[in-house]
Chain A
Amino acid sequence: MNKRDFLKGMILFFPAGGLLELAREAHATEGPAAAAPAASAPAAPATNGKASGIGKAYDAGSHFYGMGIEVDKCIGCSRCVEACKAENNVPAEPFYFRTWVERYSIKKDGEAVVECINVRGKHAGDRVEDEPDVLRTFFVPKLCNHCANPPCVQVCPVGATFATKDGVVLVDGTRCVGCRYCIQACPYGARYLNPATRTADKCTFCYHRLVKGLNPACVEVCPTQARIFGDLKSKASRLVRFARMNKIHVLKPALNTEPKVYYAQLDGEVR
């Protein structure tokens, strides 16, 4: 083979590889349709005989998970945060959270004072409730919204963060390169770089528990049942009932991320 033939071969070889990849992808998108993310969709429960539960094979396609939060029930005890850190081995320092609780104090002049009660900052322990100019106060638990249209999944350069069929956004820690584009892309500040693994980390809805039919740790420990977990594909789900009984709202709806953490009694000040 002379130089000219070699170069000609190279010119054909690389675009041909690209075309093959395009063809493969076109084929892939024609395949199984993405799960419908709409909460109201009366999707059929598992028809193939598989159901969730301990001892049975877990079928991701027959679930679509979300969380409901009743803001008025949250008493700011932070047990959810503690349980989450213990269950998921989240670093103890107050710079890494998969879930956290915010305290809002709305003053009479409309000013909102916000604080994360899990971070012991300069004003830790200030009793805002006693101030006479406070109009209303409330707690808001926050976590990854497991968006149906997740910007983090869109931007991940290596496909390390992905949405599962059952509607959970996860990070493959063995593939993540630690570029942190997903952290920049998340509008909710739900992600952090795990200092131990140097990879992106976030709430998994306790996926290891879900597949066994258990609730996420934060839901399990909440003493007031402010957190409701459930399967949007199951009519008997507590979450579907929660969505029927409450006027619900999501965070930053204008960004079209389609969050699956639904808030009842959410104040307009919460972002």
Chain B
Amino acid sequence: MSPDTIAGMYELLDQVTGYIYPNEIEIHWSILIVVYPYVTGLVAGAFILASLVKVFSVEAVRPTYRLALLTALSFLLVAPLPLLLHLGRPERFYEILLTPNPTSAMAMFGFVYAWYLMGVLLLEIWFEYRRDLVVLARQHDGRWMRLVHRVLSLWSSDISEAAIRFDKRAIKAITLIGIPSAFLLHGYVGFIFGSVKANPWWGSVLMPIVFLMSAIVSGIALVIFLYMVITALRRQPIDMPCVDTITSYLFYAVIVDFSLEALDFIHRLYQSEESVKILARLISNKLFMSLFVLQILLGMFIPLGILIVAKSGKFNEDLRKLMYFTAVILIQLGIFSTRWNVVIGGQLFSKSFRGLMTYKMEVMGIEGLLTALVLLALPFAILFVLVRVLPTTRLEEQAPRALPHAAGD
């Protein structure tokens, strides 16, 4: 225990308003636990966008299908890191996998994560890319890239009609299982918070559903962002029908998300339980900026307004691109604030319902801002490598561009 930590806690003590239980001065779930649901939300949202192509046959969003899968994978690989770094004894993390407590929601993490990574995402990506990997391995001149593609294809070489048909059927089946799995992955994170009866800010049956909807919002917004950036970097034209379609989905997802959160808010206010006074003080004192300004105004109302204006049909493509781009960035900001308000907000009031605490974020420490930023940047680095190895457009679609609707299922 360093003297700095102790001095910091005395400082926090001076900022307490009202009464808190003495052990509550320390905020236990830090910014890393804000990053965790944010990242898994992006995974679930990106996957659900990808499955629109396969299950609901929304052909317009096909140009983003592979990108969405790779985005989901990049973020899923990073998702356990904030949890691991946050543990008091990270070297014992394997205990969660070896001796999980069956009554603990958190203990299910290993199973849900492993299932989603191995049973859904990697399988679907493998079947989607198998043909291209075989072809690429044959085309390559360089020995290394050939080896990489051979290994990634798991040394399969069959690209007969029958094999490709099987791949397509497998992808469809995996996506069908994948959608409920994606719901499980993120709904489960919501359940970790929603099931804490000691905390009235968290304990709500709506929590998993709110988490899920905000996950869909953030995942879709991220894929749009990445698609626009990557096409710009490659100096390729943006497929406007595709972006127009996805932003429509995004628009409806934001509306549903907002309605659910509004319902939760009104329900709490109307029920007016024991905790209502302290929660009112919480949102008006501690969360005013992050809840009303960042989450609701900048993260929801303004992007919704931008999308409505953009959809009014009076603007050319360039202006629409700019508006969509602004909207998706604001939405990311809003969803990150949503996670902040849940995780940090839930720890800023005493369970005696009599006082408020303060969270002072570290900057350099292992649970500090810098670690959080690195963890948020890491998926983009992984994605950068992934899109180099795995083409985001099917090989057969690459040669004559602008034929995105050619290959049906």
Contact = CB atoms under 8 A, between A and B. Distances in A.
Given A181-B106, A187-B197, A93 B6 contact: yes
Given A114-B352, A121-B16, A158-B99, A179 B106 contact: yes
Given A119-B13, A199-B88, A191 B23 contact: yes
Contacts of B351: 186-189, 271
Interface in A141-164: 142, 151, 153-160
B58 interface: no
Contact of A177 (B20, B93, B196): B93
Interface string A74-116: 0000000000000000010111110010100000000011111
A208 interface: no
B93 to A, nearest CB: 6
B12 to A, nearest CB: 9
A160 B104 CA distance: 11
Interface string B10-50: 00011010111111111011000000000000000000000
B234 interface: no
Contacts of A118: 22
B101 A156 contact: yes
B353 interface: yes
In terms of DSSP, what is the predominant structure of the interface of chain A? loop
B199 A91 contact: no
B147 interface: no
A94 B89 contact: no
B104 A255 contact: no
A36 to B, nearest CB: 20
A137 to B, nearest CB: 14
B96 A122 contact: no
A176 B88 contact: yes
Contacts of A128: none
A195 interface: yes
B155 to A, nearest CB: 8
A129 B57 CA distance: 74
A25 interface: yes
A246 interface: no
Contacts of B9: 93, 95
A185 B195 CA distance: 9
A154 B103 contact: yes
Interface residues of B, number: 52
Given A96-B23, A154-B104, A189 B350 contact: yes
In terms of DSSP, what is the predominant structure of the interface of chain B? loop
Contacts of B199: 184
B198 A255 contact: yes
A83 to B, nearest CB: 17
A243 interface: no
Contacts of B29: 180, 184
Contacts of A195: 1, 5
B101 A114 contact: no
B408 to A, nearest CB: 29
Nearest to B15: A122
A41 to B, nearest CB: 24
B28 A183 contact: yes
Contacts of B6: 93
A100 B22 contact: yes
Interface string A239-255: 00000000000000001
A189 B24 contact: yes
A177 B23 contact: no
A114 B1 CA distance: 29
B172 to A, nearest CB: 19
B369 interface: no
Q: Lowest 7 A-B CB distances belong to which pairs?
A: A178-B88, A189-B21, A198-B88, A187-B198, A157-B107, A114-B19, A195-B1
22 contacts: A25-B102, A93-B1, A95-B22, A95-B26, A97-B22, A114-B352, A122-B14, A155-B105, A155-B195, A159-B100, A181-B106, A181-B192, A184-B29, A184-B346, A188-B21, A189-B21, A189-B351, A190-B23, A196-B1, A197-B88, A199-B89, A200-B88
